[in-house]
Amino acid sequence: MNHWLVAPIVLPAILAPLMVLWMRHDLPLQRVVSVAGTVLLCAVAGGLLAMSADTPPEVYRLGNWPAPFGIVLVLDRLAALMVALTAFLALMVLLYVIGTGWDRRGHHFHPLFQFQLMGLCGAFLTGDAFNLFVFFEVLLIASYGLMIHGGGRTRLRAGVQYVAFNLLGSTLFLFGLATIYGVTGTLNMADLGVKVATLPESEAALVRVAGVILLAVFAIKGALVPFQFWLPGTYAAAPGPVAALFAVMTKVGAYAVIRVFGLVFPTDTPATGGLYSDLLLPAALVTLVLGAVGVLGAASLGRMVAFAAIASMGTLFVAISGFRPDATAAALYYLLHSTLATAVLFLIADLVQARRGGDGLAARRPPIAQEGLIASLFFAGAIALAGMPPLSGFVGKLQILDAFRGPSMVWVWAVILGSSLVMILGFSRAGSLLFWRSHETLTEPDPIAPSPLAFVAVGGLLAALVALTLAGGPVSAHLRDIAAELHDRAPYIRANILPESQP
Amino acid sequence: MSLALIAALPFLGALLPGLLIRSGRNACALATGTVTALALLMLGLHAPAVLSGEVIHTRIEWMPALGLNANFFLDGLGLLFAGLILGIGLLIILYARFYLSSRDPMGQFYTYLLLFQGAMVGIVLSDNILLLLVFWELTSLSSFLLIGYWKHLPEGRQGARMALAVTGTGGLAMIAGMLILGQIAGSYDLSVILQSREAIQASDWYLPALVLILLGCFTKSAQFPFHFWLPHAMAAPTPVSAYLHSATMVKAGLFLMARMWPVLAGTPEWFYLVATTGLVTMVVAAKIALFKDDLKALLAFSTVSHLGLVTMLLGFGTKAAAIAAIFHIINHATFKAALFMCAGIVDHETHTRDLKRLGGLRRLMPVTFALSTIAALSMAGVPPLNGFLSKEMMLEEVAHTAWAGQVWLMPAFATLGALFSVAYSLRFIAHGFLGPVRKDYPSKPHDPPFGMWAAPAVLVLLLVAIGLAPMPVAGWLVDAAAGATTGGLVHAHISHWHGLTPALWMSVAAIGGGLILLSAHRPLMRAWLATPRPEAKRLFDGVLEPLATAARGVTQGLHDGALSRYFAIATVAVVTAGAAAFLTGSHQGGTRAPTPVDLVPVVGWFLLIAATVALVLRHHDRFLSLVFVGVVGLIVSMGFAYLSAPDLALTQILVEVATVILLLLALNFLPKRTPAETGLARRLRDGAIACAAGLGSGGLIYLLMTRNAAFPSIADYHLANAKTGGGGTNVVNVILVDFRGFDTFGEITVLGIAALVIFALTETVLRAGPANDRLLGWSQRHRQAGDRHPLMFVVATRMVLPIALMVGIYIFLRGHNLPGGGFIAGLVVAVAALMQYMASGFGWTSARKRVEYHALIAVGVLIAAAAGVGSWFAGRPFLTSAYGYVTLPPLEKFELATAMVFDIGVFLTVLGAVMLALASISRIAVRAGERVSATPYDVDLPGDGYGDR
């Protein structure tokens, strides 16, 4: 049994309490440990990524109980990819946090950050539906702590909305799990895949309901209309770097849809058929439109980026709703892109806000310190998120457009392209207000303490976007392999070594 | 490789000016010029081969699966355009060095310029339409930066955004068009697409693709009705106008039409769409140009008009027309770039571009006058200059082209356009340079330094040369480019005299009419100003601003923080989708027989319902709500007990106790009643939604409870293996610490995190700020018990404490086999400790606390993790348990399981989490003025500090 599989969960789960125990009052030490731990996580994730590339999915039986009776972790290429993405993003965000001193503004930032990583990695690695719920809880509570880090009226109020709405998701998750367990008698995802496929016709209606409920749960995490309400306030009010980290949290929802619906409810399942695809596509299109419209109408930078995040989730869910290998491959590429792009724009928005001393776009302010540099970074980030060339957003959208041919083509194309335009308008308006109109006043910018580490983080994320673009060929090829493996289902199920007949 | 390098060079070089501006403006300009010259040189090296008919390819694989590859090719058309872009680029760089003032950030300017240049070269060299799209959008983006270069000017910012909006729209339409085209042809490579004329024109998707691609071309090339952005883009510095808006970017649309000519042209759709648009644009824009007083606006509309001319020629779909189009592209680039630079010189020297304030510059700026005049005459189409030659060719083509059967229509309008063109060209000279010298120029004008007029001079020389000897100077280039456009061998015949053709008469009419128009300009201008006409900017703003406002209204309105609406919408969505999914699937009722109804559950059921209804009715009273919630919780615990789940019942009841106590403490800091905020209609709506959701979940639960799972449940395995595999007879506990110990590990982490968050939140609230101020000013308005720490209570809790600890340990130890376990034990001990706090207060109890609650949580999670990691050393996976039997002499043989270590972790975390939450709330109470007592109970003892704060 390969213990490295569980390392991405255990490592932060040990570091976080260690920090609470021994270095509660020593921020520098916490920083050292946190960075070291995240670097280590990156290394482990890189190793897992390399390991998964040329081996079939691998299973780790927790407590040494066989599937489906115990909990298993499953490392397939998708899980490895998501863990690696999380680890990289986390490292960049952490550097930014240290560079800007965000961690000084409240208590327990680093332990909560590590717990958050534990939740994320666990959600990506687990092969058990109930265990997924547990990690959703870890995620939720840790993210709530991070979200209200630093306090303040707006933030705390948004925090209540965030946690309340997501508790609705947790409740629904339990309903969904209870239903599917009541029908199939199992919780292991591979086993669910096998059993739902061979379900007697009399059980179809209930399992359809279970799927709908689970879809709603993941839609809440992924901010899909009509479950997106929590996102704008939360992301806009959260500390910038935390919002950046949250870029991967919405992806947990997207990942869960790919994983659970690809494995348990593929479109050729007799009981469910194309039901979820039919529900997902219109919702995703509306999400995309709403996000784009929000970008155009946003009155503050934070909300603008938040709506852009919603739009990118819409695009992602459009691609996912195809439930075909080519669409899934496009979705995965876009997933990588949109995580990095959303994160980098949140960091840049934080840089701007720290210098402007406020969030409103319309407020007249003198030019900010380091304006040239930050404006170029914003330009690059906005290009990426709006899906303009030359960055990966454009390539990603091309792949999605290319994957949708046939009856749904007109709608998908029109919405994706039209929303790009609206977002371009929104971003150009914001950029013009922030970085150009400031030159109407001729006062000197307020000096600000330099934070090279913050720029390293932003640069690192942008560099990743550039790399994702330039290495588009090999990356896409790998993603196509992942998509093929997902839609084949057999390797994943085989890895679980399910018993032929149960005792 | 080298073609890719030509396209990449400007991008790579774009870094240089930004850095070298630190070495001075000359170094900066020189570096920029060197980059462009280098690219031009590399292009020139390929020229001989291309002119001899060869097509040069460079292929680099990028994303083969998508069909997006960095494939480049160079043919005659590409050579012409790349030459124009780089050649004129070089002149612009020279000109800009002298044009920009020392206050302008020159490094930025050249960086943007090179980015733009690279994008343009990329467009004309691309052999892959997806790659072409990449460069196409890049020109929009880089021109956005260039137009907005003077950040302090509102017109510049608005012009930049307008240009981006219009060309961006077109670009996105073109993406769709190109994708369709590629899908028809089966490849995104241009070389393949150019061979697929039949397939493309026969396809059902031909028209959509054509329209979408043309949208891109028309917006980029400012064709009617998308022409309005170009004049507003003139807020840019003049070098930008000269480069982007006369010579290169606006010609990208023309280039693409020429590039796609072999596959798209030749159909009636193409003719009517392209030729008509071109004709209308030519005439309308020429007319507007005549009435513009701003030199650059005049030139801008004249550019639009000439672009229309070329578009129209391409629309004809004939070889001869294509030749004329290509030739005019060359000519227009020469005279219009020269004119823009001259206009810039005038602006630079006189500080105005308004024709009404100019005039008489002939004597003050002789060099500029000479250059402007020659270029303007060429623009007017006066022989023998090059403008005349291509205009003649245009008129010749128009003369025998019928529009919808009308032979006269095209010639008439084309002549009209040419006539306006003559008029505005001559006006440029007459009103700008001729006439008497004035005394009221904003600045005293004189000719600029050589460096500034050198660039237009080169262009003027070129246009004269082409005009005098068209065949040797430009014929070869036209042949190569037109050959590449039409996909065949071309030999152009360009000459000044074709005999007394209709074209000649049309030309004569245009020049004569133009002179008459110019002489009547004053009254015409009055008439023009008197007539209402659509103002593009107002229209654009009129659409965009309300759109943005509406967008704000919708999104802000939807996301205004109204949690109850969020919940309502989400609930309705889930219930509707769930019901629909259920009703569309086949279903059969369950077979499980219902259990008989006893009295106890019926009573419990009624209590549950009553408590819930009461909660809904009295929810404004927070204290009462909490009581009802407590009732619900107790009944649920009883339900568990009744249904033979003692572990659950124990856990539930303890959780109820702990949470109710904590909530009671928290309630102290909330208003006693919640405000009534919702009207009756809203309450009814929400009530209906809640009922639907409740009935839905109730129905679902009923369906699940009346059936058995379709397959044997995993629970059977757990029952069978709890003792043999997990070493315990209490299956629930074995599931918690062994079968699904990993879940428990996650859940105790959640509990620990929750406590940490409560602590962090409290710290935040207690920092200086409004919340803290409110607490400091807290008044105890309510009656309080006279005896805060009653003696009886204190004594009782002291006595309970050791017993409770004992019970806790007992429950912990028996857990693996009988109801109990770490979680329950943790809660028992926590409740016992809670009681001490309640009895004797925070201060007294804390003083006797030996362990930090943070540490309890941390150690708990660490022990649980260690129990998991420990199994690695036995070569087993995380959290694998082992058990054995031990005999210690006085005791009977008993079992020890490693799961117990894990359970200790659970125990400590639960205890720590509850206590940390309590401690946090106590801190708030202290801040709010609660007295801290150091004594166990409130009796007057001398010197005990009673009453101290």
| ipTM of the shown complex | 0.95
- Region A461-486: mean pLDDT is 95
Summarised one tens digit per residue, pLDDT across range B580-592 is: 999 999 998 888 8
What is the greatest pairwise CA distance in chain A? Answer: 80
Boundaries of domain holding A369: 3-497
Instruction: Please give the residue that has the higher pLDDT: either A369 or A9.
Output: A9
Q: What is the pLDDT of residue A226?
A: 93
Cα A460 to Cα A91: distance, rounded to the nearest angstrom: 10
Cα A162 to Cα A142: distance, rounded to the nearest angstrom: 12
What tokens does B518 get? 């110019």
Identify from A116, A118, A425, A476 which residue to disrupt to test chain B contact, counting B C-beta atoms within 10 A and taking the largest count: A425
Q: Is residue A503 assigned to a domain?
A: no
Parallel/antiparallel/unpaired status of strands B883-886 and B68-74: unpaired
Cα B943 to Cα B674: distance, rounded to the nearest angstrom: 43
Identify from A112, A113, A167, A417 which residue to disrupt to test chain B contact, counting B C-beta atoms within 10 A and taking the largest count: A417
Q: Rounded mean pLDDT of chain A? A: 93
State whether B553 and A297 contact (CB < 8 Å). Answer: yes
On whether any CB of chain A is under 8 Å from the CB of B232, the answer is no
Cα B706 to Cα A279: distance, rounded to the nearest angstrom: 29
Is it the case that residue B946 has pLDDT exceeding 60? no
If we measure between CA atoms, which residue out of B87, B100, B82, B115 comes closest to residue B13? B115
Quote the minimal CA–CA distance from B690 to chain A in Å. Answer: 13
Sign of CA dihedral A111, A114, A120, A126: negative
Is it the case that residue B929 has pLDDT exceeding 60? yes
State whether A1 and B767 contact (CB < 8 Å). Answer: no
Q: Is residue A313 assigned to a domain?
A: yes
Summarised one tens digit per residue, pLDDT across range A170-211 is: 999 999 999 999 999 999 999 999 999 999 999 999 999 999
Q: What single string gives the DSSP state of each residue in B344-393?
A: HHHHHHHS--BGGG---HHHHSHHHHHHHHHHHHHHHT-TTSHHHHHHHH
On whether any CB of chain B is under 8 Å from the CB of A457, the answer is no
Q: What 3-state class would DSSP assign to B493? A: coil
Dihedral angle over CA of A402, A407, A413, A418, nearest 10:
180
What tokens does A453 get? 């580490």
The angle subtended at Cα A440 by Cα A439 and Cα A444, nearest 5°, is: 55
Nearest CA in chain A to B749: A138
Do residues B9 and B117 lie in contact, with contact meaning Cβ atoms separated by under 8 Å? no
- Residues on chain B touching A153 (C-beta within 8 angstroms): 770
Please name the residue ranges forming H helices in B100-237. 106-125, 129-147, 154-185, 190-193, 197-202, 206-220, 229-232
Q: Rounded mean pLDDT of chain B? A: 89
Is it the case that residue A465 has pLDDT exceeding 60? yes
H/E stretch holding B884 reads strand B883-886
Q: What single string gives the DSSP state of each residue in B680-744?
A: HHHHHHHHHHHHHHHHHHHHHHHHHHTS--SS--HHHHHHHHHHHHHS-S-HHHHIIIIITHHHH
pLDDT band at A143 (very low <50, low <70, confident <90, very high): very high
State whether B570 and A211 contact (CB < 8 Å). Answer: no
Q: What is the pLDDT of residue B939?
A: 62
What tokens does B704 get? 């699940």
State whether B588 and A480 contact (CB < 8 Å). Answer: no
- Residues on chain B touching A275 (C-beta within 8 angstroms): 581, 584
Q: How many domains does chain A have?
A: 1
What tokens does B416 get? 């009209």
- Residues on chain A touching B752 (C-beta within 8 angstroms): 17
Determine if residue B769 is left, alpha or beta; phi over 0 gives left, psi from -120 to 50 gives alpha, anything else beta: left
Cα B396 to Cα B398: distance, rounded to the nearest angstrom: 5
Is it the case that residue B536 has pLDDT exceeding 80? no
CA atoms within 13 A on the CB side of B80: 31
* Amino acid code (one letter) for A349: A
On whether any CB of chain B is under 8 Å from the CB of A199, the answer is yes
What tokens does A169 get? 């998701």
What tokens does A13 get? 């789960």
B814 burial type by CB count under 10 A (0-12 exposed, 13-18 middle, 19+ buried): middle
- Residues on chain A touching B767 (C-beta within 8 angstroms): 151
* Amino acid code (one letter) for B583: L
Least confident window among A208-212, B149-153, B451-455, B536-540: B536-540
Q: CB within 8 A of B220, min separation 6: which ones? A: B136, B139, B167, B170, B171, B249, B250, B252, B253, B256
Q: CB within 8 A of A1, min separation 6: which ones? A: A60, A61, B876, B877
pLDDT band at B842 (very low <50, low <70, confident <90, very high): confident
If we measure between CA atoms, which residue out of B646, B810, B817, B815 comes closest to residue B722? B817
The torsion angles phi and psi of A302, rounded to 5 degrees, stand at -60, -45
Q: Is residue A502 assigned to a domain?
A: no
- Region B92-109: mean pLDDT is 90
State whether A112 and B581 contact (CB < 8 Å). Answer: no
On whether any CB of chain A is under 8 Å from the CB of B750, the answer is yes
CB atoms within 10 A of CB A491: 15
- Residues on chain A touching B553 (C-beta within 8 angstroms): 297
First to last CA, chain A: 24
Cα A441 to Cα A449: distance, rounded to the nearest angstrom: 23
Question: Of the spans A113-127, B246-260, B713-727, which averages the highest pLDDT?
Answer: A113-127
Is it the case that residue B751 has pLDDT exceeding 90? yes
Parallel/antiparallel/unpaired status of strands B68-74 and B56-63: antiparallel
State whether A182 and B707 contact (CB < 8 Å). Answer: yes
Parallel/antiparallel/unpaired status of strands A72-75 and A58-61: antiparallel
- Residues on chain A touching B540 (C-beta within 8 angstroms): none
On whether any CB of chain B is under 8 Å from the CB of A478, the answer is no
- Region B398-407: mean pLDDT is 84
Q: What is the pLDDT of residue B219?
A: 94
Summarised one tens digit per residue, pLDDT across range B470-493 is: 888 888 899 999 988 888 888 888
Is it the case that residue B940 has pLDDT exceeding 60? no
Summarised one tens digit per residue, pLDDT across range A275-306 is: 999 999 999 999 999 999 999 999 899 999 99
State whether A69 and B570 contact (CB < 8 Å). Answer: no
Q: Which residue has the tokens 């009221």?
A: B440
Q: Which residues pair with A72 in a beta bridge?
A: A61
Question: Which of B67, B145, B548 is nearest residue A297 as measured by Cβ atoms?
Answer: B548
Summarised one tens digit per residue, pLDDT across range A92-124 is: 999 999 999 999 998 899 999 999 999 999 999
Do residues B68 and A398 lie in contact, with contact meaning Cβ atoms separated by under 8 Å? yes
Instruction: Please give the residue that has the higher pLDDT: either B525 or A358.
Output: B525
Q: What is the pLDDT of residue A501?
A: 45
- Residues on chain B touching A165 (C-beta within 8 angstroms): 563, 566-567, 570
State whether B760 and A21 contact (CB < 8 Å). Answer: no
First to last CA, chain B: 82
CB atoms within 10 A of CB B550: 13
Cα B508 to Cα B112: distance, rounded to the nearest angstrom: 44
State whether B715 and A185 contact (CB < 8 Å). Answer: yes
Residue spans of the domains in chain B: they are 1-264, 266-519, 728-949
Q: What is the pLDDT of residue B34?
A: 94
pTM as predicted: 0.94
CB atoms within 10 A of CB B518: 19
Parallel/antiparallel/unpaired status of strands B894-897 and B883-886: antiparallel
- Do you find a cis peptide bond into B534, omega within 30 degrees of 0? no
B543 burial type by CB count under 10 A (0-12 exposed, 13-18 middle, 19+ buried): exposed
Q: What 3-state class would DSSP assign to B816? A: coil
If we measure between CA atoms, which residue out of B277, B336, B334 comes closest to residue B311? B277
The torsion angles phi and psi of B115, rounded to 5 degrees, stand at -60, -45
CB atoms within 10 A of CB B940: 8
Is it the case that residue B671 has pLDDT exceeding 90? no
SS3 content of chain A, % helix, strand, coil (to 5): 75, 5, 20
What is the greatest pairwise CA distance in chain B? Answer: 131
- Residues on chain A touching B179 (C-beta within 8 angstroms): 398, 401-402, 413
B875 burial type by CB count under 10 A (0-12 exposed, 13-18 middle, 19+ buried): exposed
CA B613, distance to chain mean position in Å, is 47
What tokens does B697 get? 């979940």
* b (16+ CB within 10 A) / e for B146-176: bbbbbbebebbbbbbbbbbbbbbbbbbbbbb
